Amino acid sequence: MAGISAARLTEERKAWRRDHPFGFIARPSKNADGTLNLLNWECGIPGKSGTSWEGGLFKLRMVFKDDYPSTPPKCKFEPPLFHPNIYPSGTVCLSLLDEEKDWRPAITIKQILLGIQELLNEPNPKDPAQAEAYAIYMQDKIEYEKSRTKKYSRRRTEKIPEEVATTISQLVIDIQYQQTTLTDVNARSAATEEEFRFALQQLVHKLNIVRAQKCCNP
């Protein structure tokens, strides 16, 4: 990996860990030996609130070249999405990712993911990449939404029930409290592990209850 790209991606990772949009995921993948592969990132884009995409978390892979940031990364949904601006392979067609159009070396990973999220709900008819989705979208946008929802309803991530989300939040608070109230480093490590295991047990129990309720009340 070239020094410039490695340095830039290291800074991108630090910036993302300091601050990133709620619900988004972006992290370097790991090599077989456990080291980080800064040229290959695993990302997740949440459906925008108030749109038909809301409630979904869509997996995307971001691959960088050695000459990044002179050239943009390749962004690919896994699995591919039914969308006018996404190639059948899953690759995103967006001017922001085209060095001959709007790509600039200063554009950040956060800006890329936010731009793709915006594209999901607002396709660009001037730059089609998927014939079927484009044709339906241009003929009847309502029918396009129906086709898209039906095609990928099983792939979309279900929204976490409110009661489970509340439980998760409380567990996180409890764990953080335990971490801050313990002073001895060794005791803190041991207690954190114990609390974390207990928290997971509680969460699994809660999820099992929700699943049972759904089975009994379809």
What is the torsion angle, in degrees rounded to the nearest 10, for the CA atoms of residue 102, residue 108, residue 114 and residue 115?
A: 10
State yes or no: cis peptide before 218, omega within 30 of 0: no
As a whole number of angstroms, the distance between CA 12 and CA 21 comes to: 14
pLDDT number for residue 181: 47
pTM of this structure: 0.70
pLDDT tens-place string over residues 89-131: 999 999 999 999 999 999 999 999 999 999 999 999 999 999 9
Residue 215 is among the residues annotated as catalytic for this protein = no
Please identify which of the residues 43, 75, 93, 215 carries the catalytic annotation.
93
In what side-by-side order are the strands of the sheet with 25-30? 25-30, 36-46, 57-63, 74-77
Query: What tokens appear for 157 in the block?
Result: 């991530």
* pLDDT beneath 70, residues of the chain: 1-2, 152-218
As a whole number of angstroms, the distance between CA 7 and CA 38 comes to: 10
As a whole number of angstroms, the distance between CA 168 and CA 53 comes to: 23
Block residue for tokens 């800064």: 38
